[in-house]
Structure 1
Amino acid sequence: MDTSIEPHHIYHTYMVDAKIRLLTAEKIVASKTPISGYGSLDAEFCLLQIRRIVESITFGAMTRERGRYSALHLIQQAENPRAKGSPTSDWKASEILKRLVEISPHVLPIPVRDEPTQTALGIFHFDRKDIEVNHARLIEFYKRAGGFLHAQNPLVSDFVHRLNEQRKAYDGMPKELAGILDFLRKLLWKHVAITLEFEEGTDPRTSDSPKFAWIVDFMTNNDHQVSIQLAEST
């Protein structure tokens, strides 16, 4: 990771990318007729955007906890010398998310309601939205989307069955996509991203006090702007 770039700038880039993909996929799903001319192609395009949004969430979290994440990698390689890879070569969001939840209970975005309450001079409290957020659900979306990225292998014994099952899945895809995109909107549109304190040489799996919090707001549907406010976490 380029340490000359502030982490919140990198996080901002991922969130702008996620917003663009979210708005574009929502537009396609809301269309009464396939924009590409084929419902299956529209669905595959939206699934790719969902997969990329999950990756933006994942790499954004890795950016915030880069010290802890790198330290966990070293521990895992010491525990299993046959383990391969490094923090800089990790790319599979499903595997990265499993590592991230080991190092922080706040690694995922915390969706909050629009208006904070002021509890004291200069201190604001954001109420969480009432939605369940966990890494398993994001991994589910990631893998579901990945299942439509490739053509079926014709040499498998149940090729025809797999092809028919995939075609059936396309029939219910608009409703499924709308549900996934609605969840991602609620998760990301206004959220808090927390980074924990970490002292090099300590066990990254041991939780610590929050170091800082970023208040992220996607604001309006009319543009690709994303606001990030840097705040001390109390």
Structure 2
Amino acid sequence: MLIHPEQPACVLVEQFDLTAEAVHPLIRGVETKLLSVLRWAREYLCRPHPDLGRKGPVCPFAQASLDRGMFYLAVHRGETVEPGTLDQLMLTYRDWFRELPPTGGPAAQFKTILLTLPDVPPERANAIVDQTQERLKPRYVPEGLMVGEFHSGPPDKAGLWNDDFRPLYSPVPLLAIRHMVSSDFPFLADDRDSVATYLRLFGANTPPALRARVGAAAREFGLSVPGPPPVNPRTPVPQLADQQGATS
């Protein structure tokens, strides 16, 4: 278990913390629910799905995140949560996420924090998760980060490869923090500032399948698409981290 250096009430739970003889007070009584999140990650995120619309697992990064010990669970207890309290908590975990090693390089893309709400009843939790994601997205995207919503609804957002698939299901309501990847553009295409951030980070290395859509959005918002970087024949061309889409 990792404890925030300045806010000891904020902790990151790892798998062995859930089966220890003496569990942390924050997770006492919800160990089964948190274990179900890990099981969901392995049995759903890490596997193909017949409705996904492409080959490969639902989330291309989940298995590597689990294998590398970079798949962290955070927990907020209580049957109710005020929007301001949850927003501040998510921003605390956002800032902590940036400081967790590795802070750079290809391995950093495998970090993820899932803030779970194990006590909030689904009839309230689903709306809380969706509304929090919508409020906080503008405070994550400019920093190259994504905040994702998952619950048993599931959220009414289609997969990237099948409009009839709703991939953001989870057994426990949660909000996910991860790095943005080049295939995230469809999640960002309807907002000028988000498109500008995407172009800054990935514009010169947009996946081929998304180039037309990125170009159209850039023209719509009056933005320029960076040209491809010059290729030094002595330097290997870097490979894109992901061409499939994160969690969809």
TM-score (norm 1): 0.27
Question: Greater helix percent: which structure?
Answer: 1
Pick 1 or 2: higher relative contact order, CA cutoff 8 A, min separation 6: 1
